[in-house]
Amino acid sequence: MATPAQTFLIALYEEHLEEASFLYGLSRALLINPDISWKKIGEFEERLEAHIDGLVVGDKLAMEICGRRAVEGDFGELFTATCVFCRQGQRDRVLAIFDQLDPADAERAGAVADALKYELPDAWSQDFLSLLSSGDPKLAPILARAFGYRRLQCGPQLLTAMRRCSAAALTEVVWALGRIGYSPAAESLLGYLKSEDEPVRSAAAVALARLGEPRVVDVCLDQARPSSWSILPLALAGGRSVLSRLTEIATRGAGADCFTALGLIGDPASIPLLISSLERSDTAAHAAIALQCLTGAGLSETVFMPEQVEEDELFDSEREQLKQSKKPVRGDGSPFGSTVKRRSQSPDNWNTWWRANATRFTTGMRYRHGSPITPERLIEMLTAESTPHLLRRSCMEELVTRYGKDFGIETDMPVERQIIALEKAADWARSSGAQFREGAWYFCGSPL
């Protein structure tokens, strides 16, 4: 029977796990929230760290509770327990977690991968590399993600895993080969551009672009279609021929990704097309982001966003009104919703701005936030709190694919680690970035 002191500690450790789980899930969700600054996430990560630390300094009882919740708890508790075991050097407990994982449960597998990305002890690396080579469907994607994130040189093991692992694990293995810059993998990765699995094709294309393999652009150009997996790799690595191809696709009613790509390419020749795309409800938001990315105009607007009507939550009288095209209203007669400030989606406002500023831009050059693009401006966008998460990820990839520089930055890294990596990148840009011409087209450090 537990003593009063043990009962108190059990409740304390369980509370640490519950709170850490909530904060981990919240931090992951905020990574895709366009209205939340990436640095804001750091506040929740600090609170998460405090709860993990509270378990690390606990006694054997804390370890036992972590072991139990790793099996019975949710994916956030699994993440927390795995972090604790890594910090405490509990290798056997981590291996036990591997044994009970279901590879089809993406949330739990992703939680373990995240924990290993951040906390895997260096002393375990060699043993875990042999596990990676096995191609185990449970372990290969998790270990590939962790090792790729940490830029651990494990190219031969990844190639072995790629030959042995299931199709479901391929995306992570392919992704990791691009992260560690393993050039002997290029021929194998080119073959995966023909995979039946679109995520594998996409991961292979980005990996090849990071490796500086020029053939990837030709393959992606040949495969480019509206809403195609090949759009982003073309934006990250392509030259002027890519612009004409994406423009052709966009004029035929392309999906939102194509307009984002035009903003990343940054040639002002795309501005009239992007402004006209503001008139389409399905592309307006992405076209506005692309225009801001290219011009830095800072145009905004205040609009009322009606609340989505959930019919299951309505009273019978409200459902009847809805059938008559009358949406439910508040007690004072006002509609449900909120007023928000967003990037302008007004074609008139953008046309007015473009007429006044067009002479500042030169067709054929690449721009970012209104200035000819340089590595330093990419790093400034990565650092700025106002940059949407989608563009931050693209800027991070561009540093590698355009300028051949990898500072180990991942946009899902803990904020504190990102700040340190970005400071190193900024130091390099100030001291060595002048070797690149402003606004010029580059691929892997060489002019196109």
**Per-residue pLDDT tens over the stretch 116-162:** 999 999 999 999 999 999 888 889 999 999 999 999 999 999 999 99
Q: How far apart are CA 155 and CA 178, in angstroms?
A: 10
Closest by Cα among 281, 202, 257, 249 to 391: 257
Q: Which residue has the tokens 């002002």?
A: 268
How far is 181 from 208, CA to CA, in rounded Å?
Answer: 9
- The residue length of the chain stands at 448
CB-based contacts of 311, cutoff 8 Å, min separation 6: 319, 322
Helical (H) or strand (E) element with 341: strand 337-343
Q: Do the Cβ atoms of 287 and 296 come closer than 8 Å?
A: no
Cα–Cα distance for residue pair 237/402, rounded to 1 Å:
6
Q: Residues in the chain with pLDDT < 50?
A: none
- Please give the structure tokens belonging to residue 56: 């690390």
Other CB atoms within a 10 A radius of the CB of residue 270 amount to 24
Contacts of 18-23 with CB under 8 Å at 24 or more apart are: 18/77, 19/47, 19/51, 20/48, 20/51, 20/52, 20/55, 20/76, 20/77, 20/79, 20/80, 21/73, 21/74, 21/75, 21/76, 21/77, 21/79, 21/80, 22/76, 23/47, 23/48, 23/51, 23/76
What is the DSSP secondary structure assignment for residue 329, as one 8-state letter? B
How far out from the chain centre does Cα 359 lie? 35
Which residues, 6+ apart, have CB-to-CB distance to 399 below 8 Å?
A: 375, 378, 379, 405, 406, 407, 409, 425
Q: Round to whole Å and give the CA distance between 353 and 274.
A: 13
Rounded Cα distance between 79 and 167, Å, is 25
What is the number of other CB atoms lying within 10 angstroms of the CB of residue 124?
16
AA identity, residue 285: A
Of the candidates 287, 267, 286, 265, the one whose C-alpha atom is nearest the C-alpha of residue 276 is: 287
Structure tokens at 323: 């059938």
Q: CB–CB of 218/189 below 8 Å?
A: no
Query: How high is the pLDDT of residue 270?
Result: 96
Tell me what pLDDT residue 321 has: 59
Task: For residue 330, report the phi and psi dihedrals to the nearest 5 degrees.
Answer: -70, 175
pLDDT at 307: 60
Residue type, 67: G
